[in-house]
């Protein structure tokens, strides 16, 4: 864990004081720069090529953080880093004058500095700005992480993410990619006529997924509220209201353990499209993901861990039944009830809690045998109705619903179905869930009377989708842990 160092702080505070005594504001409000670091380098390169020792007459003003400082008596080099990259600055006493030059001794790594000067290329070939004048833009009072090894302590990286970002270009890149994923997703959906909406995070009851919620208290109403576990039920109310294509990208909260694939708050996309079914959604998912990857990485093939993933459509499609049969040898449809299926699983030496219901057992088979094998993008189709209280049954087989999940890199990244729009059946499904809840399943879906009331007013057939943005970001940034793609991941409080 990073800790404050009082000695360094006092030293830097003294430097700050010296600046003020010289009438210098160490925290000015504004600075007008003419170029980013990378722009300055490109400018010089275009005008003078890469001949070592070349001097130009281009004057630039750049600003950034001091990341290295090499004082050599009557001359000094320092590295400035801004969002575009790094630019070396060269200071010499005969150019800056004795006073301004000596003041460099009170400069520290981490300070923000603005410099103006002429570009040249050193004899070792680096484009450099020879400083005519400089301005302190923000004094730093704590030392930055080590310049060569950077920050490796994982706990410090997460608790003080600014230090991690400060010292690692790779980490900065990860979060830039994450941002581009989300904006590419928005562009894709917007171009297809989807309307982006926002629905409540604080809810009198949390529904739309099988998960335990966080509870909070609303003082003004004197009531407990729940943080949403999904956006589904509100988005479908909007279909009832007449919107035909809606989506929401937002944070949801699930009161569960953390792991490399789970953070208690995470970000999902949910979209709903009227008059579409899960087959239409499947086509959209593979097209959308390929589009995003192409925009963000410039190709639909990329490295994830030790494998090359190819997200070019079409993705493999296989029924959940066949996938489980293939990887575990168990045909769950041949075992129509929980007792029989559990017995079959125990024959294969799986430890299964006797309290697990039929749906959970199937889920267990999926996550144990199938999910880790799905490295290349794959859609699993047709799930048992017990596992999907909000999905429409298949016309040909009432044990199953029209649902698919998308996998890549051994992780679930999408979940979608043809939405159940029959209010009477929805009520019955809720009743079944209520029964499971009464039997001790804390994750069972609770009946949402207003949602049923909405359905009773008529909802068009629709295809709905949920996607985990964090997991998509893990894939595209080649990170094995969800915490690496969340800026401030959840950690236990430390005191």
Q: Scan for tokens 């890199």, then name that residue.
A: 409
* Residue 147 interacting with RNA (CB under 7 A): yes
Secondary structure (3-state) at 294: helix
Pairing assessment for the beta strands 215-218 and 223-227 based on DSSP bridges: antiparallel
Find how far residue 236's CA is from the centre of its chain: 25
Window of 123-131, 193-201, 273-281, 339-347 that interacts with RNA by CB under 7 A: 123-131
415 forms bridges with which residues in the sheet?
Answer: 405, 466
Smallest distance, RNA to C-beta of residue 482, A: 8
* Residue 321 interacting with RNA (CB under 7 A): no
Nearer to RNA, 128 or 184 (CB): 128
* Residue 145 interacting with RNA (CB under 7 A): yes
Structure tokens at 332: 């769950």
* Residue 491 interacting with RNA (CB under 7 A): yes
Phi and psi at residue 35, in whole multiples of 5°? -145, 150
* Residue 105 interacting with RNA (CB under 7 A): yes
Instruction: Compose the 5-44 pattern: x for residues touching RNA by CB under 7 A, - for all others.
Output: x-xx--x---x-----------------------------
* Residue 348 interacting with RNA (CB under 7 A): no
Window of 35-43, 181-189, 284-292, 475-483 that interacts with RNA by CB under 7 A: 475-483
Instruction: Compose the 354-393 pattern: x for residues touching RNA by CB under 7 A, - for all others.
Output: ------x--x--xxx--x----------------------
Secondary structure (3-state) at 359: helix
Smallest distance, RNA to C-beta of residue 67, A: 9
For residue 290, what is the DSSP state? Answer: H
Window of 57-65, 71-79, 131-139, 449-457 that interacts with RNA by CB under 7 A: 71-79
Q: Scan for tokens 């059946």, then name that residue.
A: 425
Q: Classify burial at 319, counting beta carbons within 10 Å of its beta carbon; exposed 0-12, middle 13-18, buried 19 or more.
A: middle
Smallest distance, RNA to C-beta of residue 122, A: 3
Q: Taking CB under 7 A as the criterion, which residues in 217-246 touch RNA?
A: none
Smallest distance, RNA to C-beta of residue 405, A: 5
Q: How many residues bind RNA, per CB under 7 A?
A: 79
Secondary structure (3-state) at 404: strand
* Residue 148 interacting with RNA (CB under 7 A): yes
What's the number of CA atoms in the CB half-sphere (13 Å) around residue 111?
A: 26
Structure tokens at 445: 């879906």
Q: How far apart are CA 450 and CA 457, in angstroms?
A: 11
List 92, 251, 316, 348, residue binding RNA (CB under 7 A):
92
List 23, 51, 57, 94, residue binding RNA (CB under 7 A):
94
* Residue 2 interacting with RNA (CB under 7 A): yes
DSSP-assigned states of every residue in 433-491:
HHHHHHTT-TTSPPP-HHHHHHHHT----EEEEEEEHHHHHHHHHT-SSGGGGSSS---
List 21, 149, 193, 398, residue binding RNA (CB under 7 A):
149
Window of 140-148, 184-192, 200-208, 389-397 that interacts with RNA by CB under 7 A: 140-148
393 forms bridges with which residues in the sheet?
Answer: 401
Q: Scan for tokens 């702080």, then name that residue.
A: 9
* Residue 453 interacting with RNA (CB under 7 A): no
């Amino acid at each position: 864990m990073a800790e404050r160092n009082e000695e360094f702080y006092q030293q830097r505070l003294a430097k700050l004081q010296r600046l003020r005594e010289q009438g210098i504001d160490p925290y000015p409000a504004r600075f007008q720069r003419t170029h980013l670091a990378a722009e300055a380098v490109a400018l010089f390169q275009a005008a003078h090529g890469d001949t070592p020792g070349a001097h130009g007459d281009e004057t630039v003003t750049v600003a950034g953080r001091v990341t290295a400082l090499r004082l050599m008596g009557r001359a000094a080099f320092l590295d400035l880093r801004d969002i575009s990259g790094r630019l070396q600055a060269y200071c010499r006493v005969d150019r800056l004058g004795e006073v301004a030059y000596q003041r460099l001794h009170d400069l520290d790594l981490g300070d923000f500095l603005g410099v103006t000067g002429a570009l040249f290329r050193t004899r070792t070939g680096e484009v450099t700005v020879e400083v005519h004048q400089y301005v302190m833009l923000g004094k730093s009072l704590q030392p930055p992480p080590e310049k060569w090894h950077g920050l490796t302590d994982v706990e410090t990286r997460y608790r003080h993410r600014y230090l991690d970002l400060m010292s690692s270009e790779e980490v900065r890149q990860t979060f830039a990619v994450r941002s581009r994923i989300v904006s590419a997703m928005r562009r894709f959906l917007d171009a297809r006529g989807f309307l982006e909406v926002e629905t409540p995070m604080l809810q009198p009851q949390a529904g739309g997924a099988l998960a335990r919620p966080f509870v909070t208290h609303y003082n003004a109403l004197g009531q407990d509220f729940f943080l949403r576990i999904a956006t589904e039920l509100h988005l479908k109310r909007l279909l009832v209201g007449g919107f035909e294509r809606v989506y929401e990208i937002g944070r949801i909260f699930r009161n569960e353990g953390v792991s490399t694939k789970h953070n208690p708050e995470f970000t999902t996309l949910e979209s709903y499209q009227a008059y579409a079914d899960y087959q239409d959604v499947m086509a959209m998912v593979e097209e959308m993901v390929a589009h995003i990857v192409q925009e963000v990485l410039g190709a639909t093939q990329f490295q994830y861990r030790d494998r090359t993933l190819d997200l070019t459509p079409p993705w493999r499609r296989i029924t959940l039944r066949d996938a489980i049969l293939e990887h575990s040898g168990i045909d769950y449809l041949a075992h129509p009830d929980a007792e029989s299926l559990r017995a079959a699983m125990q024959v294969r030496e799986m430890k299964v809690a006797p309290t697990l219901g039929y749906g959970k057992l199937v889920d267990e088979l999926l996550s144990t045998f199938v999910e880790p094998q799905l490295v290349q993008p794959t859609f699993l189709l047709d799930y048992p109705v017990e596992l999907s209280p909000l999905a429409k049954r298949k016309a040909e087989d009432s044990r199953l619903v029209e649902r698919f999940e998308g996998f890549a890199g051994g992780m679930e990244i999408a979940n979608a179905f043809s939405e159940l729009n029959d209010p009477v059946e929805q009520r019955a499904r809720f009743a079944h869930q209520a029964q499971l809840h009464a039997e001790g399943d804390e994750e069972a879906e609770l009946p949402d009377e207003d949602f049923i009331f909405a359905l009773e007013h008529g909802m068009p057939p629709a295809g709905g989708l949920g996607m985990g943005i964090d997991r998509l970001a893990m894939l595209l940034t080649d990170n094995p842990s969800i915490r690496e793609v969340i800026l401030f991941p959840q950690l236990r409080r430390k005191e």
